Structure 1
């Protein structure tokens, strides 16, 4: 098949959706398909700024939420024109990665499958982009329903999102949990010391890694709140964040307030390829997600990558994290927002590195058996084939 993966967002960028697209593309190509990606990044920077980003910024200043509506609307139109320009390539199917990409794809007449990565409207509320109950929030939800009813098939990345789609639009979806390239994200601990030297970390430092976008739902403040307890027993500990987001300033202020500047490092957004080295040099990986405005973590790609990379994982017992982590077998689960429990889990693994190694070994086994990008690509292939039969 000739397959087009389409998104109204930038590609590539730091985040789960971009990682999903890259990994799915690799899996589909390994199975013999031709795969292209079209995204907002394929639009000229001048058009991006003049038509989407600039007006969106101004409109948001005038009325909260108006800017995001404008931006989505313009991005949809731009993506539609892009797809039309590439129609000569003879795509059999488009796999749209979100609501407005779906609406653009459907308009071209090419059979469309939609992957739903989250709860678009609720996530916009959680980020503070729109106000709950506002006209803008109602509009976004209306567009969700429109997209879910117009596309031929829907794939969701976990069971809860599948239930959400049915609840909002009355449409049955297929849940295919997120996945990783198991050949790319694999244990690399033999290079641990080399990576530490490369990135400026001492050999004997306990490195706690948080590979998360800095958003409220990702619970990024809680490792900082837990760190003082850890430092009491293990003063040679460093908390390292990889990611950017709207909670950056809040996190930075909290670090300053707690006097933890020397014990934390904010890397910002780093290339997906480079993040592998941080998994390898880390002692523990944290995925401290929380419920926020009705939004909860799906099947976290960061958690899967950590489990595939040989680092013991501590995650919050929310959403899809509860599906992928079996407590005390291939990782540790802690109650969301429970600072004491998070601190004690970190201390426990630092006290017992052999247990961390066992958890990491079992986690890798699970990833190989259940979360391979090649197995996921086969499932998507079956969905595409079914969509073409409609």
Structure 2
């Protein structure tokens, strides 16, 4: 190997060590250089070099001294990750419009804006409005403020995260749209694109109820029913980036026709697009309800169920029963530590749904006595999508080697 080869190996080794150090530091409130050296298996000199580099980039800061060891000696200087060292733009595209937010590296929302959907939902029109919003965010960012590292985008459809191409988004009518390339070229920022449901799952693992969980399933119960799977700390995508289409599993013979062409799909019995038509038919056929068939909404359904409306209660119980069965199938198939439920339907009614979903799932879980799986509701609310989109960029920052250093 020539000298150039040795130099190249040394640079790669340093980048790998930087990535490992960043991954460790971001999981700790405080850490000393001695602890870093011990946990990373590196020499004190190497750790000193890493700490100096991360401090120069603003990613690490000193926060005083810790306790001395029982053997005595100097108290160690403590360090912590600095989430304010940079910012990320997080985006979630939807049929009703686009959510855009500026977040720090801790995924705290600093600014947010809503971008109305254009009259035409074609890619050119939607991305033109999105790019305008991103440019406005960049222009408003003070010159001396920490830099914006990149843009993360969530799309309701199948995405190739490596190329940033939207493979297919039925709700938007998109196929083969190079979203990352278009946004990156027009805005001058590194752009990471993924499906909205995987972004929301990423947010749960980064900041939500699933923080620290390595094996989990996230079910998004919204306009449709989507699922993201985290296996051994990595997002499972499948051979064609379409893993998690649990909503298109028929569960009721002769049920309502789904947009996919099948009948009785799980999403037609649990999601907004399926539940409201079913509810309308029940309301029209009943005299014992306060609901107006011409003014049905998700929130109205759960409000009516809360005060004991029999039609609303029956609908809510059916949603919980079908979701519980779907959750049990997931648990039996992938053996997760946790299943997290989120999305508009669950946000509107989780006070009524969560315990009922748990009760419906438990009898259907194989060998449940020996499992400790938890079924939880998302705690992140409406910002979950933009947080997850930013988390995709955040994760790239902590790749080995880091993508942005």
Same fold by TM-score greater than 0.5: no
Structure with more of its chain in helix, by fraction = 1
Structure with more of its chain in strand, by fraction = 2
Report the TM range for the smaller structure's normalisation: 0.3 to 0.5
| TM-score normalised by length of structure 2 | 0.36
| TM-score normalised by length of structure 1 | 0.37
